Structure 1
Amino acid sequence: MSASGATAQDSNWKAREQGEEARYIHEKDQAQLAAIRDQLNEADKAHPASNTASTQDRDFEGGFGGQEDLEDRYATTSGEH
């Protein structure tokens, strides 16, 4: 077995390499998330009034898919049609 093959079979080396890779990936993900947060904060600062109004206009919890204002022509109090 060559020296590189023996190193690849070493569990301590393998665990350390995987740990370093995981740390690098985590740091890269955190940097990307921070950049996204910064972009969103800048967008909110640029248009604060329009963002708050648009979110308040849309009340997704208040009805059945926006159809709560439609008239039910067949509804009766007795349940007959």
Structure 2
Amino acid sequence: MLTINKSDIVDGLLLGLMADMHVVKDKLVYFENKYHVSYEVFEQTVKNQEEDYKQWDDYIEWKAYRHLFEDISRKISDVKNADFEVT
């Protein structure tokens, strides 16, 4: 029978989550550099101007990456605090 330490599981989970986080951060920086504004400023601009489909698509994608960033951050916190269950 194989015995796996909880710390090995934590390390493996964190490694995967950190890799995912790196990809998401790169996308967030990409949009900030593309538009030279924060997400909040871009959101207001998109919502208050005449519809621009390219910007609207970027807004939806940027928003999704922000949500993904928050989700991964929560998961990292849960893993670091050993707040998970193996089933």
User: Which TM-score applies when normalising by structure 1?
Assistant: 0.41
User: Which TM-score applies when normalising by structure 2?
Assistant: 0.39
User: Which gives a bigger RCO, structure 1 or 2 (Cα 8 Å, sep 6+)?
Assistant: 2
Structure with higher Rg: it is 1
Q: Per residue, is there more helix in 1 or in 2?
A: 2
